Amino acid sequence: MNANRGKLKIYPEDQIQRYLIIDIAVCVFLFFKVLRADSSVGLTGTFLLLALFLALYYMGLWLKGWKLLMIVLAGCGLMTAFALLYDPWILFFAAVYADFLGRVRAPWQLAAGLSAFAVMYLVVSFNLYGNAFHFLETAHLPILIIQLAIPFVVRILERSDSLKRELASANERIALYAQEEERHRLARDLHDTLGQTMTMIKMKSELAERLMDKDPERAKREMREVARTSRLALKQVRDLVTDMRYVSLDQELELGRALLAGAGIAFEYRREAARPALSKVTETMLALAVRESLTNVVKHSKASRCAVTETVEGGRYLLQIDDDGAGLADKRAEGHGLAAIEERMRLLRGEAGIGPSPAGGVRVSLAMPLPTAGGDAS
């Protein structure tokens, strides 16, 4: 059951903060002004008119659209009666209906309401002074201008509130998306980290098993390498989960050298230009992309050599990973790893490409704009 069912609402919750105090003040001053004035309708007639004012006002708090326009038109008629029976300056209190007019929806409803305000002043001026435009020569003119402006101000405020609600809703969706994206990123990075080390452990373990009878000493060396790789993997996972830490590109290249050496693949590193200043986020993204690329070399390339070249070309910072393996005929090289690399490079406003290598295997190219003098490309 709805917890709000049966709860008496005497004032719209969305209007309490902005309008309640002003509305109460207007009602108090209007009652004071009317009850002090002399009128031909007597006290009973005065109370009936005030009761009608309150009834229209209260209905206007809850209605929308054309129904609210009807309240505004009736209110203008009532304020015309107040001005003719009591005091023309009571037209000032028609501002409460101008407030309502700002909450109508269709442009034609707004135009009709504004016309009603103009007619109200014309009728009062004609009946009291014999000239419908007499109010143009009195302080009624600025009052009318203010009342005609109020609906536009209210519409702007209402639109601002609507945009704030939409922004808050969008921020909530972004926060949920960010949490989901963080989970995906953690899963990818765990895959990257564990993928390469588990591959090494699997390869070394299988090799040790085959060598157990033929070459026990070498089998022992391979098992020691498995133990060392396992400890390294454990450290990487701990670092990743506890801190999602900064990953040094140089450190990742050294780890890649060890990874390739363990798989019997010769590693060569060439730096043909000075490395630009990279933020920790950018360097971490590049390091993880290099990690995935080298992991793919171990898993899929059947290569004997792998080279990493770092250079600057055409206003872009480039990292190229070349191998002399099976080449693009091995479609497994286009799997999950490349998608993760491309996603990381997009975050850096860069790109990742895969193609044939001059060495006969595969070339993975990582390219990003050079950082500007004021900051990083990320």
Strands 266-271 and 362-369: unpaired
Answer whether residue 185 is part of any domain. Answer: no
- Note the pLDDT of residue 245: 57
- More confident of the two residues 15 and 106: 106
Report the C-alpha gap between 73 and 91 in whole angstroms: 14
- Note the pLDDT of residue 37: 78
Q: Which of 89, 119, 138 is the C-terminal boundary of a domain? A: 138
Report the C-alpha gap between 331 and 171 in whole angstroms: 40
Report the C-alpha gap between 117 and 94 in whole angstroms: 8
Answer whether residue 303 is part of any domain. Answer: yes
What is the greatest pairwise CA distance in the chain? 123
Answer whether residue 192 is part of any domain. Answer: no
- More confident of the two residues 296 and 175: 296
- More confident of the two residues 12 and 303: 303
Answer whether residue 193 is part of any domain. Answer: no
Q: How confident is the model at residue 179 (pLDDT cuts 50, 70, 90)?
A: low
Q: Which helix (H) or strand (E) holds 127?
A: helix 107-129
- 323, β-bridge pairs: 306
Pick from 190-199, 289-298, 319-328: least confident: 190-199
- Note the pLDDT of residue 238: 62
Question: DSSP 3-state assignment of 271?
Answer: strand
Answer whether residue 227 is part of any domain. Answer: no
Q: Which of 138, 165, 180 is the C-terminal boundary of a domain? A: 138
Report the C-alpha gap between 147 and 136 in whole angstroms: 14
Answer whether residue 183 is part of any domain. Answer: no
Percent of residues, the chain, with pLDDT higher than 70:
80
Q: How confident is the model at residue 310 (pLDDT cuts 50, 70, 90)?
A: very high
Q: Is the pLDDT of residue 191 over 70?
A: no
Answer whether residue 215 is part of any domain. Answer: no
Q: Which residue has the tokens 């999950």?
A: 336
Q: Which of 138, 156, 180 is the C-terminal boundary of a domain? A: 138
- Note the pLDDT of residue 174: 67
pLDDT (average), residues 222-228: 81
pTM of the shown model: 0.46
Q: Is the pLDDT of residue 56 over 50?
A: yes
**Which domain range does residue 78 map to?**
13-138
- Note the pLDDT of residue 17: 59
Answer whether residue 88 is part of any domain. Answer: yes
Average model confidence (pLDDT) across the chain: 80
Q: Assign residue 313 the CATH number of its domain.
A: 3.30.565.10
Pick from 139-153, 186-200, 262-276: least confident: 186-200
Tokens for 232?
């390294």
Q: Which amino acid is at 236?
A: Q
pLDDT (average), residues 47-76: 87
Q: How confident is the model at residue 33 (pLDDT cuts 50, 70, 90)?
A: confident
- More confident of the two residues 241 and 57: 57
Q: Is the pLDDT of residue 296 over 90?
A: no
Q: Is the pLDDT of residue 330 over 70?
A: no
- In the chain, the number of structural domains is 2
Handedness of CA 199, 201, 202, 208 (dihedral sign): positive
- Note the pLDDT of residue 111: 92
Q: Which helix (H) or strand (E) holds 184?
A: helix 140-214
Pick from 8-17, 131-140, 320-329, 367-376: least confident: 8-17
Q: Is the pLDDT of residue 112 over 80?
A: yes
